[in-house]
Amino acid sequence: MSAIPFTDRELKRAWRELSAMALPAAGNTRTNPHRLLLFYAVECGLKAVWLKRQNRSLFDRKDIERTGHNLRHVLKELKVGTGLSLPEALQLQPVTQNGAQEPRKGDINILHQAWRYGGKCTSPTDNDCESKLEQVLNWIQGELK
């Protein structure tokens, strides 16, 4: 994986901007592009909190390679407790390949792929995943004041 280091300032700015863009226009419901931005807002925010707690200003290649998109891993390292958690396993609608239904399952790391490529989470649902990410986003807000 090619990794580029980012500063705490960059991560905080990305968290703020992505959080704002993740909200749908008034009267509309959130769609996969909004959800994807929500996912990335949480990822940037968690990594900014992680840096803050370590009294560091650079999320470097080693950090990126260790965490990737694993938000559960970052939450665990931040020791936020079980009250603030993300789904461990995800299931998407199955696809048909060669006439057979093929299940699609994975952990939280596939969530950004599912929403990026237009997938639909069935267990937990997209709405359930959104709700959990919003809870984490609210927690981040308190940590990065």
> Mind listing the pLDDT tens digit for each residue in 12-28?
999 999 999 998 888 88
> Which of 82, 86, 69 is closest to 124 using CA atoms?
86
pLDDT in tens, 90-123: 999 999 999 999 999 998 888 999 999 999 999 9
**What pTM, to 2 d.p., does this model score?**
0.91
What is the rounded distance in angstroms from the CA atom of residue 116 to the CA atom of residue 119?
Answer: 8
